[in-house]
A and B are shown apart, each in its own frame.
Chain A
Amino acid sequence: MKTGFRVFLAVILTLGLSWLTFVVAPAVQLGRAKLEPVLNSSDTWPIQPSGDAALGLQVYRANGCAACHTTQVRQEGVACEVVLTDAGNNPAAVSNLLSTLKLSGLTKEQADAVAARIAAAGGKTETHIVPTGADIARGWGVRGSVAADYLYDAPVPLGNLRAGPDLANVGLREPDLNWQLLHLYAPQAVVSNSAMPPFRYLFRVQKINGTTSPDALRLPKNFAPPAGYEVVPTPAARELAAYLLSLKADAPLYEAPFTPAIAKP
C-alpha cells in the first residue's frame, strides 16, 4: 500500500465485503420477512402487540432493561417423546412393555420403533416433538427464539447479558398484572433474594382521598407506604407491565416446531 488511494481500496474491499455480508444480506433476508403461519393452525405469527405493550417497549428501552435481561431462548436440539393415548384391549401387557422402554429423548427413528412395539401390544400412541436445551429445561420457553418472534419490535431488545432472568416468555411465566407491577415497584417483595433494582420512580405515592384507588398496589407490610398513603402505578409502569405480559413465544412454527401441550379436560 504505497499511496493513500491504495489504503482506501483496501478498506473498500475488506469493509465492503463485511458490509455486504452483515448489513445488506441480513437487511434483504430479514428485512423483508412477513408473518409466518403457525403450524396446524390458520393463525399467523407474531401477534401484533397492543398499544400499551408497544408503548411499554419504549419504557423498556428508555430504562435500559436490556442491560441485564435477554429476550431470547437458546435451543440446542430437538427430541421425540412417545405418549400413550389409549392402552387398548390388553392394558396389563402394554403397561409391562412401557416399563421396559425409554419413551423420551428419542430420535425420530427410535420413536417410530417404540411406537411400533406399543402398537403391536395393542396400545395407541402419539409422538410429540420436544425442543431441548438448558434454557428450555429451565422453563424459560417451550421452544428456541427465532427471527420471526421480533417482527414488530423497534428496537429489538435482544440483550446480551443475563444478570436477570430471560424475559422472552415472562408473560407465560407470570401472567398476573398485579404481580408484574408489584415486582417492578419492589422486586424483593415477591422474589426475596432478587438483585433487581426497584423501579419506584415509575410509581406514585399519594395520599388516600376518602377511598383507596382501585389501582393501588397491595403491598406486603415491609414495603407498604406510611398509613394513609397508597402506591399507584404511573402510565409508564402500566405500559411496561403490559409489554412484559405480551412477551410470550408459544406458537409452533415451521423453523421451530414443537407439540403444544393440550390442557387436560
Chain B
Amino acid sequence: MNRTEHFPADGRGTAAAPAPAPAEISPSEMEASCRMPLLALFGGAALALVAGLALAVTASLTFHAPQLFADHPWLTYGRAQAAANDLLLYGFCIPAGLGVMLWIFVRLSGAELYLWLAAFIGANLWHLGVLVGTLAVLIGDSTGFAWLEFPRGGSVLLWAAFWLIAVSAAATFGARQNRELYPSHWFLLAALFWFPWIDATANLFLITPHPVRGVAQAVIDWWFANNLVFVWLALVGLGAAFYFLPKLSGRPLHSHFLALFACWTLMLFGAGCGIPQGAPVPAWMPAASALAAVLLMVPLAAVAVITWKTVRGSTAICKGGPLSYIKLGTALFLLSGLMLVAEACPQISRVVEFTWFGPAQTQLQILGFFVIVMCGAIYELLPRVTGVEWPFPKFIRLQYWLFLCGVALTVLLLAAGGVEQGWKLRNAATPFADSVAAALPFLRAETVGLLLVLIGALLFAANIFAMTLRWKLALLKSALAAVKTPLQTAEVES
C-alpha cells in the first residue's frame, strides 16, 4: 500500500503505473469537460436551496400567527413544510451531491467526463421532476408519505434523470487510468447503487394503485427515508469530505483501512436505523432498529478518528474557505449521527419521540452536514471547472458564518424546544396545551435561524449565477473576437 492511495491524486500514474495512455488529456481539459452538466446541476440546486429555505421560513410564520394562510391552501403548514423539505432534499442535496460526485470521478479517473450530454440532459430532467413534484405537493397532490411526497409524474422524471447522470458517472469511473480505488470511490459508488434500489422499492411498494396493506406502508416509508436522508447523504457527504479534506489540508487521508471499515459499517448499521421506538408495529422491528442504531456508534467513531487524524497539524489556512466548510460539515455529521442514536434509545425516545427533537436531527443532517459540505466542495471545484474566479469572494466567508450561526440556532432551538415539550407530554397531569405553549417560543425564534441560512443561501446563489454569467460573457467575447478578427490579407489577395 503506497502513499498515493491515501492521497487523492489526479488518477494519473502512480509510481507503479506510468500510464502512457495516448488519450491522456490535460487537467484543464478534464475540468472543462464537466462544465455544462455541473453548471446545470449546481445552478438548479442553488435555486432550489433558496426556494426551499424561503418556503421553510414562510411555513414557520404559522407559529407566529396561525391564521396567516387560512385562505391560501397551497401555503398551509402541512403542504408548505413538506414542499420545503422536498426542495431541500431532492432540489438541492441530491443534484449537488451528484455534481460533486461527477467531478470527483473525473479527477480520480484522470479522464474527461464521459457522456457529458447524458449528464446534462439528466440534470435538467431532474430539476424538471423536482419542479413538477413540488408544485404537486403545494396543490395538494402529495402522496402523504414523509420524504416521498412527489406523486408518480415527478418520481418518474427523477428516476429517468438519475439513470442518465449515473450512466455518465459509471462510464467516467470505468475509464480511470489508475485501477486502484481511492476511499472516496467506495462511498460515492455505493451511493450510486443505493439510490435506484431504495427509490424503486419505495415507489413500487407505496405509490401504486395497490400499495402494501396497513402499517407495512409506514415501515417501508421509514426505511426509505432513513436510507435516503441518513445513509445516502452520509455516503455522498463523507465521500466528498474524504476527497477534499486531504486535498485541502495537504495531509494524506489518515488510513485506507479505517476508511474501508467506516464505509462497510456505515452501510451495514446505517441501513437498519429509522424505525421509531413507539411505533404500532410488531416489537421486533423497533428492537432491530435500536440495535442497528447503537452499533452505528462504530462508524461514527471511525469517521471521527479519520477526520481528526487527517486534519490535525495541518498548516493550511482555511479562514471561512472551503476547508472550513468541510471540516464543519463533517463535525456536524457526527452530531447528527449521535442524535439519531439518541432517538433510538428507549429511555430517551420516551421523552423526545413525537417532539421537535426529530425535526432538529433532520435539519442538522440536511442543512448542517450535507448542505455545508456541498457548498464547500462547490466553492472549491467550480472555479476550476469554469476557469472563472468567484465574483464575490467575500461572500464565501460571510456565508460560512451565516450558515454556522443559522444552523446552530435552528438545531439548538428545535432540540431544546423538543425536550421541553417532551417533558410536558410525559407528565399526563400537564395539559396538552402547555406542551404546545412550551415549544412555541423556540419555534418562533427558529424563524431567525432559518432566515440566517436563507441569507447565506442567497449569497451562494448570487455567486453561482454571477459566475455563470461571467463565463457566458467570456464565451461571447471570445466568439465576437473571432468574428471581428480581420482576415489574413494574404488570403484575400490570392
Chain A residues with CB under 8 Å of chain B are 1-4, 7-8, 10-11, 14-15, 17-19, 21-23, 26-27, 29-33, 61-68, 70, 72, 74, 76, 134, 137-138, 144-151, 153-165, 187-188, 191, 193-201
Contacts and interface: CB of A to CB of B under 8 A. Distances in A.
Nearest to B190: A11
A226 to B, nearest CB: 15
A87 B365 CA distance: 62
Contacts of B217: 154-156
Given A14-B271, A158-B215, A160-B276, A165 B432 contact: yes
B487 interface: no
Interface of B: 62-63, 66-73, 76-79, 81-82, 140-146, 170, 173-174, 179-181, 185-186, 189-190, 193-194, 197-198, 201, 205-206, 211-220, 222-223, 227, 260, 263-264, 267-268, 271-272, 274-276, 278-282, 285, 288-289, 350, 353-356, 358-359, 421, 425-428, 432-433, 435-437, 439-440
Contacts of B289: 22
Given A7-B190, A18-B271, A67-B77, A30 B144 contact: no
A156 B425 CA distance: 23
Contacts of A156: 214-215, 217-218
Query: Chain B contact residues: over half helix, strand or loop, or mixed?
Result: helix
A36 to B, nearest CB: 11
Contacts of A201: 70-73, 76
Given A18-B272, A161-B356, A64 B223 contact: no
Contact of B66 (A8, A70, A198): A198
Contacts of A10: 186, 190, 263-264, 267
B215 A147 contact: yes
A30 B219 contact: yes
B276 to A, nearest CB: 7
Nearest to A191: B433
Given A30-B281, A67-B77, A3 B181 contact: yes
A197 B70 contact: yes
Contacts of A148: 214
A27 B219 CA distance: 9
Nearest to A202: B73
Query: Chain A contact residues: over half helix, strand or loop, or mixed?
Result: loop
Counting from the closest, the 7 A-B pairs by CB-CB distance are A64-B78, A137-B428, A18-B271, A61-B144, A62-B140, A155-B144, A14-B267
B185 to A, nearest CB: 7
16 contacts: A7-B185, A11-B197, A15-B267, A19-B197, A22-B288, A30-B214, A30-B215, A68-B77, A76-B350, A147-B281, A156-B214, A162-B354, A165-B432, A188-B66, A188-B67, A197-B67
Given A4-B174, A33-B214, 5 more contacts: A3-B179, A147-B282, A150-B280, A165-B432, A201-B71
Residue of B205, B219, B267 with most chain A CB atoms under a 10 A cut-off: B219
A155 B71 contact: no
Given A147-B214, A161-B354, A22 B220 contact: yes
A114 B147 CA distance: 52
Contacts of B179: 2-3
B432 A198 contact: no
A150 B212 CA distance: 12
A145 B145 CA distance: 19
A194 B66 contact: yes
A18 B144 CA distance: 24
Nearest to B85: A67
A181 B267 CA distance: 48
Given A22-B272, A26-B219, A150 B190 contact: no
Nearest to B216: A30
B66 A154 contact: no
B354 A23 contact: no
Contacts of A165: 432
Given A27-B220, A161-B356, A17 B271 contact: yes
Nearest to A160: B358
Contact of B268 (A17, A31, A67, A150): A17
A15 B197 contact: yes
A145 B179 CA distance: 54
B193 A26 contact: no
